[in-house]
Structure 1
């Protein structure tokens, strides 16, 4: 049974990421000229800070140096968070996006922009913004109805701390 380099990297790095209380979201290996770029994307319910990313980056670098999984060629290592506009794919992504405005591409066709109010095992409770001064409406969609979903960037969004005050 053959495993890909990405599978070998995931098997090697996932325990390091888990030990930090983080989720390993993605491993991307790309080529830029003669060099290769290894991008490790991690996240957590509490978010990430720069110090934690730097610490994890050092540990991953040491682990990669101990093995031959990257081969002999040079590579650049980058450890980062998924970014604000990342696609939502896993249940935990939707949970982390509660309160955020999301653009959904529906499996039946069409788009929907709504704020996630609640998430359970079957789907999402949404608040669809009202148009032209109308009040927002509630809507429920199942995960099976979602083809793609991505958080929308809001420049005037109220922070949770502001709402609680």
Structure 2
């Protein structure tokens, strides 16, 4: 059910975000305790601010009320993906080239399942991650989770 909801909400959110030159990063629909939460994560070059989130929340809420794709009551939250932005698809991975990333794999690659380093290349089938002086070639279909790594 949540996959169907997130897909439909994405379809409704895209025109709003395009109009505002914002990117849809992720959508979550999940139950926490007795409440359902619909979380929409947005971003743009230079980052989003509270005004961007407020405007998207208002416009998307109105559109969701019109179409009514969700049966149960829920809380809508629109926010930035944060500094540890998830990398959910190929577009996100391409965007992250040159940035520090953290990723985990479904199975060990060179006896490791967690990698953190600079994403130096992504050719659509494999990611090149420079960790120290060694570059790891990680097949894209073996990546379980990927996100921007926090650098202090």
TM (normalized to structure 2)? 0.72
The verdict on how the C-alpha distance between 1:149 and 1:74 changes in structure 2, with shifts beyond 3 A counting, is closer
Q: Does 1:154 align with 2:151?
A: yes
State the 4+ residue runs in structure 1 displaced beyond 6 angstroms.
none
Deviations 1:66-94 (A, max 9, x none): 233244x6432110122222442312222
Where does 1:71-150 land on structure 2 (aligned, <5 Å)? 71=71, 74-109=73-108, 110=112, 111-129=114-132, 136-150=133-147
State the alpha-carbon separation in 1 of the partners of residues 66 and 148 from structure 2: 38
The verdict on how the C-alpha distance between 1:145 and 1:45 changes in structure 2, with shifts beyond 3 A counting, is farther
- Find the residue that maps to 1:56 and give its secondary structure: helix
TM (normalized to structure 1)? 0.67
The verdict on how the C-alpha distance between 1:48 and 1:95 changes in structure 2, with shifts beyond 3 A counting, is farther
Which blocks of at least 5 consecutive residues in structure 1 are unaligned? Answer: 130-135, 156-165
State the alpha-carbon separation in 2 of the partners of residues 107 and 90 from structure 1: 16
Q: Which has the higher strand share?
A: 2
Which blocks of at least 5 consecutive residues in structure 2 are unaligned? Answer: none
Q: How many residues align?
A: 146
State the alpha-carbon separation in 1 of the partners of residues 137 and 66 from structure 2: 49
Please say if residues 45 and 96 of structure 1, whose CA atoms lie closer than 8 Å, have aligned partners that are also in contact.
no
Q: Does 1:24 align with 2:24?
A: yes
- Please, what is the CA RMSD of the aligned residues? 2.9
State the alpha-carbon separation in 1 of the partners of residues 45 and 126 from structure 2: 19
- Find the residue that maps to 1:104 and give its secondary structure: strand
